[in-house]
Each structure stands twice: as structure tokens, then as C-alpha cells.
């Protein structure tokens, strides 16, 4: 099977009208969503057609990250919106259980305790049957002091993820800093996530923690020499006895959402194909046509198939086996 571990729900336009009405209501009440089953079915059918066009068998779908509005106030707006997203995903999965599995959004509200998001996590896993969660490491969305993932703020969430044995896809949401677009912010937050966690004891505290870093690890594989050097330098907090940086990287998993063949090759050579999951984020910002090839940039299967140093075992690991190993709750959905 070709399992796409990084994809987002395709929702009918009327669903985003609910978001606008929710913001307009200012948290005083939740207006009717008004999304019909037929509209959800039509959106899902359109997404399946896209999947079929590039050979994807199953997508693990989560909310659209830049729509999550974690920094919105009051917090109740965020909770209602994330719950609606998860319900929509559950309806999409119910329509096509052999083509989709759910990855839950979390109502991680800016400035609020992370414990407030845990009831929705429990609901998504225990009641809706989701197989993972989407983790935004910057609930302030570029406009406030979000704690790094190494901070104790996140520990109750990590504990709950280990309890449920579900992985988290680390993926930032919107960006209101005025300095970055949300796409630029994605790469910034992915890089900070890796570096902060590897300079902490989080993986010792939570040995069962499963974290996937979106977009091939941000800038880290490209800048690995810098971080290897700092790991050995005392003035940067390193030492000659420190764990090699490249070894630490293997505590994470990485998706293949990199739109350049050389970047994908670098990722595979840096972390190994046994730590990479096929992902496309399709349809998304990579769905433009590459004028050099005439294909859309996010047709990653064609790109990976053309990398000549990969073996068939490598490709099988990236396309299917790694996802099965990481998302333990997929076993009930897709038998070997």
C-alpha cells in the first residue's frame, strides 16, 4: 500500500463559513455548522480522485494547519472549531474507511494550560478511532511566548500520547508575527522543535514518545553540519562525550514533504529510509505544476521512484512499512 502519512482534510467551502460565523460570535455561542452529508461526500470524492491520480491508497488526514487559529480568543472558539474539524474528519473516514484514517487536531490555546486540550485528544482516540494527532508547537502563532517542546508545559501531553500509543505530527499552524508567512513559519518551528528536544531529556522521560517532524525536518538536514559542530563545543553547551547529533535525529520520524528531488535524497541519506514516512500534504501549496517536469511538485511517489540509490526494500519501508510500525492503531484498519 501507499500510505500518505501527512495529508489534510478536504472540506466543503460551507465549512469555512462556519469558521467565520464562529469568530463573529466571539465565543458567546456556536452557530449551526450547516454542512450536509452530501457536501462532505462530494469533497471526499474529489480528494479520492486526486489520490488516485498519483497512486495513493490511503491518507491519514488532519485539520488544515493554518486554519486552526490556536491564538484566537476566547479559548472556547478554538475548542469548538477543533472539535468541528475532528468531527468532519470522522465523517470523511466513515464514508471511506479503506481510504482515510483520522489524525486529530488539538485545541492547544495560546496561554492556556496544555491539560485543557487533553479531553479532545481522548475523545478523538477513544471515541472517533483516530490513529494520531497534529501538534502545533507554537500556539501563539508567531505573536507570543510559546514554550519550546522541551519545556515542562508539554509533558502532560507527551504522557497522554505515550498512554494512547499514538504519534504526533509536529506541524505549526498560522503565523501572525508580521515577519513570516505561515509556510516560512513551518520551517522555523520544525527546526526549533528538533533542536530543543535533542538538547533536553524529553526522550529519556518519555521513551515511548513518537514524534514525526513535518516537511522533512525543516532546515535541520540541510544545516546538520552546524548542529553537529555545536554538539561538541562546550561554549554552546556541548561536549566531546555528547550523543552524536545525527544519532539523536533517529529519535524522530520524518515525512517526505520536500518538493525538490535533491532535498529528498539528502533526507534519506541523513536519517535513513527506516525513519521516513511517505507524505504529500496533497492537495496543498505544492500542487503547482513544475515547469521542468510538467508534473505537480507534490507527486512525490514519482520523485521517490526515480531515486536510483533506493532499493525496493527502502521504498517499501517509506511507502508502507514505517507507517504501519509507527501508527499502531492502523493495524485494526488495514491488515497486513
Strand order in the sheet with 3-8: 3-8, 58-62, 100-104, 132-135, 168-170, 211-213, 253-255, 276-277
* Active-site residue, from 184, 281, 312, 320: 281
C-alpha cell, 237: 553547551
What gap in Å lies between CA 287 and CA 299, rounded to an integer?
Answer: 8
What gap in Å lies between CA 74 and CA 95, rounded to an integer?
Answer: 33
Output phi, psi for 91, to 5 deg.
Answer: -65, -40
81 touches 87 (CB < 8 A): no
**β-strand 3-8 against 58-62: which pairing, if any?**
parallel
Residues 6+ away with beta carbon under 8 Å from 166 = 125, 130, 131, 132, 133, 210, 327, 328, 329
How far, in Å, are 87, 194, 243 from residue 165 at the CA level?
Answer: 21, 21, 26
What gap in Å lies between CA 171 and CA 164, rounded to an integer?
Answer: 20
- Let me know if 312 is a catalytic residue: no
C-alpha cell, 122: 481522548
As annotated, the active-site residues are 281
Amino acid at each position: 500500500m501507499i500510505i500518505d502519512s501527512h495529508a489534510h482534510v478536504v472540506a466543503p467551502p460551507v465549512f469555512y463559513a462556519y469558521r467565520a460565523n464562529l469568530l463573529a460570535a466571539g465565543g458567546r455561542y456556536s452557530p449551526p455548522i450547516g454542512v450536509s452529508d452530501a457536501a462532505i461526500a462530494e469533497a471526499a470524492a474529489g480528494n479520492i480522485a486526486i489520490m488516485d491520480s498519483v497512486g495513493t491508497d490511503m491518507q491519514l488526514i488532519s485539520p488544515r494547519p493554518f486554519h486552526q487559529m490556536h491564538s484566537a480568543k476566547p479559548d472556547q472558539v478554538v475548542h469548538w472549531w477543533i472539535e468541528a474539524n475532528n468531527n468532519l474528519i470522522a465523517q470523511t473516514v466513515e464514508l471511506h474507511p479503506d481510504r482515510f484514517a483520522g489524525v486529530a487536531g488539538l485545541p492547544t490555546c495560546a496561554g492556556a494550560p496544555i491539560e485543557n486540550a487533553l479531553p479532545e485528544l481522548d475523545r478523538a482516540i477513544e471515541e472517533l478511532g483516530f490513529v494520531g494527532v497534529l501538534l502545533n508547537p507554537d500556539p501563539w502563532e508567531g505573536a507570543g511566548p510559546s514554550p519550546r517542546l522541551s519545556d515542562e508545559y508539554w509533558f502532560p501531553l507527551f504522557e497522554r500520547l505515550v498512554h494512547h500509543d499514538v504519534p504526533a505530527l509536529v506541524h505549526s499552524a498560522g503565523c501572525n508575527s508580521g515577519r513570516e508567512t505561515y509556510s516560512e513559519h513551518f520551517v522555523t518551528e520544525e527546526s526549533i522543535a528538533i533542536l530543543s528536544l535533542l538538547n533536553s531529556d524529553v526522550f529519556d522521560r518519555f521513551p515511548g514518545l513518537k514524534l514525526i517532524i513535518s516537511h522533512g525536518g525543516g532546515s535541520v538536514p540541510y544545516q546538520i553540519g552546524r548542529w553537529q559542530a555545536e554538539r561538541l563545543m562546550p561554549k554552546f553547551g556541548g561536549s566531546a562525550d555528547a550523543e552524536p547529533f545525527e544519532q539523536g535525529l533517529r529519535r524522530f520520524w520524518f515525512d517526505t514533504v520536500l518538493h525538490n528531488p535533491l532535498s529528498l535524497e539528502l533526507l534519506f541519506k541523513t536519517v535513513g529510509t527506516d525513519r521516513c514516512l511517505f507524505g504529500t500534504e496533497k492537495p496543498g501549496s505544492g500542487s503547482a505544476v513544475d515547469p521542468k517536469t510538467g508534473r505537480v511538485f507534490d507527486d512525490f511517489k514519482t520523485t521517490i521512484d526515480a531515486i536510483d540509490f533506493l532499493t525496493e526494500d527502502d521504498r517499501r519501508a517509506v511507502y508502507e512499512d514505517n507507517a504501519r510500525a509507527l501508527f499502531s492503531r492502523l493495524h485494526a484498519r488495514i491488515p497486513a
